[in-house]
Amino acid sequence: MTRYESLTEAVGGTPLVGLPRLSPRWQPTGDGPAVRLWAKLEDRNPTGSIKDRAALAMIAAAEEAGLLTPGCTILEPTSGNTGISMAMIAKLKGYGMVCVMPENTSEERRQLLEMFGARIISSPAAGGSNQAVAMAKKLAAENPEWVMLYQYGNPANAQAHYDGTGPEILADLPTVTHFVAGLGTTGTLMGTGRFLREKVPGVQIIAAEPRYGELVYGLRNIDEGFVPELYDDSVLTSRFSVTSYDALRRTRDLVEQEGIFAGISSGAILHAALGVADKAVKAGMAADVVFVVCDGGWKYLSTGAYSGSLQQAAERLEHQLWA
């Protein structure tokens, strides 16, 4: 069924696409069993990112609990995608939208948020996303009429993936052996990971997290770190930190070899997926590795990620929050 009564009903049901060129061994050969990579194309959601799933679920849960009522304003710390998803849904449902966003996020995301009618409050670049979270919490306390859905700690975020992303993957690929996704709010990994662990014995759940340049970490105090409330490390089997250079390299591999124009965090996730695929090849194991393409590359064109040499692009990206 591809006819919908409204845009919000078109969230989810995204395609799972094989990568015959980037997979280590697409067909079994005399050298060993197939080790295949599959991309879950979350850029096919209505606003172009995986965040439509969580935003829709969190808003629905808040409405059901009576926290969100007509005329309310939603407040959220976001580097872009969640804000864009929430702003679209807020527009359709008649809510106001305020986003707290680090000032060093891409220009496209600001323009998109404004187009969807969101008000943006900038948090200092040096404080990164940690400070955006802290600032949003302060604003929520000062403005009791604003409703913060708080994606880092809202169980509906993970539940959206337990109910949607996980079952979709299992239905499309019952032989799945690995699931690889980005680690931000941790909602995708927690929800999909829990679902797959219940249904697929031995499935591996792998996190890829961005490793930024010096400036992003520069002022970070170890005693005031941030771990999302949703995070439960018992759901994961491994966790990789991926540099800007490797993320960019894989983002370009995706478009050059498989024709998939993805955002930079998807390159980081592919890098981790290739790492676990390589381990499977060495162990002589068959593997079906599913990884998430979180969004398309459109919102990152102004970062220079897709032009010039890899080294130049990585340097340009060094001080930006690219995921």
Partner 1 sequence: MAVEVKIPTILRSYTDGSKAVPGDGATLSALLDDLESRHAGLKGRLLTDEGALHRFVNIYVNDEDVRFTGSLDTALSDGDSVTILPAVAGGSF
Active site residues: 51, 265
225 binds partner 1 (CB under 8 A): yes
We find the least distance from the C-beta atom of residue 221 to partner 1, in angstroms, to be 6
- Give the residue, chosen from 111, 241, 257, 302, that forms a contact with partner 1 under the rule CB under 8 A: 241
- Give the residue, chosen from 5, 29, 222, 309, that forms a contact with partner 1 under the rule CB under 8 A: 222
We find the least distance from the C-beta atom of residue 153 to partner 1, in angstroms, to be 11
Contact in structure between 16 and 290 (CB atoms under 8 Å): yes
298 binds partner 1 (CB under 8 A): no
Contact in structure between 51 and 57 (CB atoms under 8 Å): no
Stretch (H or E) spanning 77: strand 73-77
At what angle are helices 310-317 and 244-258 packed, to 10 degrees?
Answer: 130
Task: For residue 163, give the 3-state DSSP assignment.
Answer: helix
Neighbouring-strand partners of residue 101 = 122
- Give the residue, chosen from 8, 23, 47, 79, that forms a contact with partner 1 under the rule CB under 8 A: 79
Stretch (H or E) spanning 290: strand 287-293
320 binds partner 1 (CB under 8 A): no
- Give the residue, chosen from 46, 48, 210, 297, that forms a contact with partner 1 under the rule CB under 8 A: 210
- Give the residue, chosen from 10, 121, 173, 236, that forms a contact with partner 1 under the rule CB under 8 A: 236
Task: For residue 122, give the 3-state DSSP assignment.
Answer: strand
186 binds partner 1 (CB under 8 A): yes
Q: How many angstroms separate the Cα of 265 from the Cα of each of 57, 76, 192, 223?
A: 23, 21, 18, 27
Contacts with partner 1, residue ranges (CB under 8 A): 49-51, 78-79, 81-82, 128-130, 132-133, 151-152, 182-186, 207, 209-212, 214, 216-228, 233, 236-243, 263, 265, 275, 294-295, 321, 323
